[in-house]
Structure 1
Amino acid sequence: MLSDKVRQLITYDARRRMAVADRPKLRALVERAPAGGDADHESRRALGVALLALGEYERAAGHLRRAVELAGSPAQVIAARVGLAEVYRHGGDLPGAELICRMALELARAQAPEMAALPLLHLGWTLAGQGRPEAARQALGEALELRRESGRAPGRESGEMPAEELFAAGDVEALAVPLPPSVAALLGAGPEWDHDHDGAGGSLARAGSYFVRRGPEAVAEHARLVWLRERAGVAEVVAFEGDVLVTADTGAETLAAAEGTDDPGVGAAMGRALRELHAVPVKDCPFDGRLDVLLAQARRNVVEGRVDAGDFDDDNLGRTPSQVYERLLAERPEGEDLVVAHGDFTPSNVMANGVLIDLARLGVADRHRDLAIALRDLSGDFGPEAVAAFLSAYGLEAPDEAKLAYYRLIDELF
């Protein structure tokens, strides 16, 4: 089988990244492999892994997504999604890899317990790469225990690396991806990370008085901060190198800190901030967040297993991510009322001093993309007076209810 031949040509380096034992031979295998409609799940997955090892990440991801779609069992879905997680990890998107591993692990525990060690192993490597050694040891230790319980004899998992070394949870600190020089000079080579703070996302950590984001989200946010800083209040960029962004503390709490107070001032502050952002001329904005872009990313998120259906709003509980995506295609609005949209306009992303944060999704989009999320969160966390204050400050009497429902639905897949 193609997968056996590919496996024989791949090993792992000291940082648990795929390495190729014989590049010309692996390249020849890829060129001879069936493609298109002739490729089944196993062939697609093997091709994806081979291309990942060869460093062709986009092509690898395409084959692995197709492998997910062709999967005939939960075990096959898990195996292909772990391959996708490795594409993200090798490409530098450690938060994306972590999310896929966690969701694959959840699926394994529910439907294919014999597969749980695989996402745990790759989750451990991903956490180690992020500089989270204790969490990495826990994941790798559990993976090794599950592997032993399965009765598998010690051997070689791939190439020349012993299986015991692949699962080793000893020197995980050595797996951490080093900070770029300018960032290390600012924070120190081994800063203390805080991943549990107000507004923290999967790719965001705090180091002292700075917020640090790494990966494609960091690159996307940096571009938007540079463009937006003359047009709206945003956090100061302290350093940016490679895929690491460091921003300064804004000196204020997020509006989410007032949750539970029923303070209409929160709604008014959000309305003013959004009115000012939406007044930025669309023609000046180089970032695209329109529906064609959103729906393409939503589909990728569904296939890759990046969507947690258990976190859906009450009116969507019980639906699968695929069902939500099909509804989005069927109910797509005819037109878009375009503005420069934040993309994730929640109270936790607006500071009390009006500064906007978490801007990686900013782009030209229908204004209801922001209105839907703001109104949902204000209604649920602050009450009707905050909603009324928001609409008054924003200057809109009656938003389009059908579009609000549609953009709340699309947010389920992000």
Structure 2
Amino acid sequence: MTDGGYRFDGRLRMIATDHEQLAARVAAARPVDFAEFRKTGIDLLLLGRYDEALDHLDRALELADSDRRRISVWINLGDAHRYRGDVVTAETLYRRTVDRARDCAPEVLSFALQHLGKALAEQGRLPEAKALLSEALKLRVAEGDAELIESTRTSLDALDELPATLPPKVVALLGEESTWSDDHEGMSGGVAHVNGTYWVKRGPKAVAEYERLNWLRGRGIRLPDIAVFEDDVLVLTDVGVPSLAALDDPAVSVGAVMGAVLRLLHAIPVAECPFDGGLDVMLAQARRNVLEGLVDTEDFDEDNRRLTPEQILDRLLAERPTDADLVVAHGDFTPSNVLNGGLLIDVGGLGVADRYRDLALVARDLPIDFDDDELHAFYTAYGLTEPDRRRLDYYRLLDELF
């Protein structure tokens, strides 16, 4: 099937039919309005330039002046996130399009249903996918558009022939009949516990974690073993110990363990680290999260519950610190990301940043999850006597948007 310079591949994704012509069109583009930013964003998506596609589609979303236009861009954004491997974010966006289309834009509901259906089919969730695509087909038959009807029928017919969703080395390790579970401590989206032995992650965050795990090895930090990595799928070996957040051992000082681990991490020379976790990077991602509606306001700290994500972003921009004490920062340094014995996990956000990016989360979590004594033990082990309250508050506020 071809249309407008693209066709669908075996995974039901759009791919360009003429990369050279499309690249030339993108190079000549000078978008100034909604339609032009959206069109260029879609072209970049077809070229596989996903970060640039997201930038253009975000701008189109800012310029959207109707529910129908917003829904159309959410669908495109969902595609951009899905094609780059972020299925969790993609599903969030697709489900929002379905809900909003049902409420106020029924004329685009079939498109929302079809994109969500294809995304779930790609994950192997075939019963859900079939139900959504069948609903889309029913709507399109009623509307009478022959081309759209054929598109949905093609998607339905392809469900049982979709290629395997996991690369060969991963399948060989886990087995054809592996047992998957997302019922685990932390309940992080996009992370599965497999066969009670492995942790499986995929997408751009998994790639980032793989790169950082390899870089960290040999630098004095205890880390999980990589069982296999292929394409964008990372499989880690379960070390069989709880995190400090789940530890039930009064003989272990959670704060002291965390302080010792973070002191080692922050002692790594910044000049050796190739990863950027600084404010330019973080604020750009925070803006994207706000614009695309990806911020969970129900998870805000109590003193921020009355603020909107937009208000928080405005404050962060207005109150941005002018100084920074740069270290190799973890990026999500919480009790749940340090295992008993001091093993560090979930390092996908690691990069050079102000040390308060890590310290702020510790100062927030330890008194709530444990007590002030553990926070004092942390500061003692880390070697900090007078924390900067201004920067603690700033980086805690920043974390609300992630």
What TM-score does the superposition give when structure 1 sets the normalisation length? 0.84
2:30 matches 1:35: yes
Gap runs ≥5 in structure 2: none
2:326 matches 1:338: yes
Equivalent in the alignment of 1:123: 116
Q: Is the 8 Å Cα contact of residues 204 and 212 (structure 1) preserved in structure 2?
A: yes
2:206 matches 1:210: no
Instruction: Sort the Cα spacing of 1:118 and 1:272 in 2 relative to 1 into closer, same or farther, 3 A.
Output: farther
Q: Structure 1 residue aligned with 2:168, among 155, 177, 181? A: 181
Instruction: Sort the Cα spacing of 1:213 and 1:25 in 2 relative to 1 into closer, same or farther, 3 A.
Output: closer
Equivalent in the alignment of 2:237: 248
User: What is the one-letter code of the residue matched to 2:175?
Assistant: G
Equivalent in the alignment of 2:281: 293
Using the TM superposition, name which of 48-57 and 226-235 deviates more: 48-57
Q: Is the 8 Å Cα contact of residues 235 and 356 (structure 1) preserved in structure 2?
A: yes
The whole-number CA distance in structure 2 between the counterparts of 1:378 and 1:115 is 47
User: What is the one-letter code of the residue matched to 1:183?
Assistant: V
The whole-number CA distance in structure 2 between the counterparts of 1:262 and 1:410 is 32
Q: Is the 8 Å Cα contact of residues 302 and 321 (structure 1) preserved in structure 2?
A: yes
1:202-281 matches, cutoff 5 A:
202-208=189-195, 209-231=197-219, 232-258=221-247, 265-281=253-269
Deviation string 1:343-371 (CA, Å, 9 cap, x unpaired) is 00111111012101000001111111111
The whole-number CA distance in structure 2 between the counterparts of 1:183 and 1:24 is 31
2:53 matches 1:53: no
Equivalences, count: 399
User: What is the one-letter code of the residue matched to 1:84?
Assistant: L
User: What is the one-letter code of the residue matched to 1:257?
Assistant: A
2:63 matches 1:70: yes
* 1:157 CA drift (Å): 5.6
Q: Is the 8 Å Cα contact of residues 104 and 305 (structure 1) preserved in structure 2?
A: no
Instruction: Sort the Cα spacing of 1:321 and 1:201 in 2 relative to 1 into closer, same or farther, 3 A.
Output: same
The whole-number CA distance in structure 1 between the counterparts of 2:378 and 2:18 is 59
* 1:8 CA drift (Å): 5.2
The whole-number CA distance in structure 1 between the counterparts of 2:344 and 2:20 is 51
2:124 matches 1:137: no
1:74-113 matches, cutoff 5 A:
74-104=67-97
The whole-number CA distance in structure 1 between the counterparts of 2:324 and 2:376 is 24
- SS of corresponding position for 2:323: coil
The whole-number CA distance in structure 2 between the counterparts of 1:340 and 1:388 is 22
* 1:333 CA drift (Å): 0.6
1:2-17 matches, cutoff 5 A:
10-17=6-13
The whole-number CA distance in structure 1 between the counterparts of 2:122 and 2:398 is 31
* 1:92 CA drift (Å): 2.8
User: What is the one-letter code of the residue matched to 2:22?
Assistant: R
Instruction: Sort the Cα spacing of 1:11 and 1:275 in 2 relative to 1 into closer, same or farther, 3 A.
Output: same
Equivalent in the alignment of 1:3: none
* 1:67 CA drift (Å): 0.7
Q: Is the 8 Å Cα contact of residues 23 and 54 (structure 1) preserved in structure 2?
A: no
Q: Is the 8 Å Cα contact of residues 136 and 152 (structure 2) preserved in structure 1?
A: no
The whole-number CA distance in structure 2 between the counterparts of 1:113 and 1:262 is 57
Q: Is the 8 Å Cα contact of residues 26 and 50 (structure 1) preserved in structure 2?
A: no
* 1:204 CA drift (Å): 1.6
Instruction: Sort the Cα spacing of 1:312 and 1:140 in 2 relative to 1 into closer, same or farther, 3 A.
Output: farther
Q: Give the share of equivalent positions with the same residue, in percent.
A: 46
Q: Is the 8 Å Cα contact of residues 51 and 59 (structure 1) preserved in structure 2?
A: yes
The whole-number CA distance in structure 1 between the counterparts of 2:74 and 2:344 is 34
After superposition, the CA RMSD in angstroms is 3.2
Q: Is the 8 Å Cα contact of residues 327 and 355 (structure 2) preserved in structure 1?
A: yes
What TM-score does the superposition give when structure 2 sets the normalisation length? 0.86
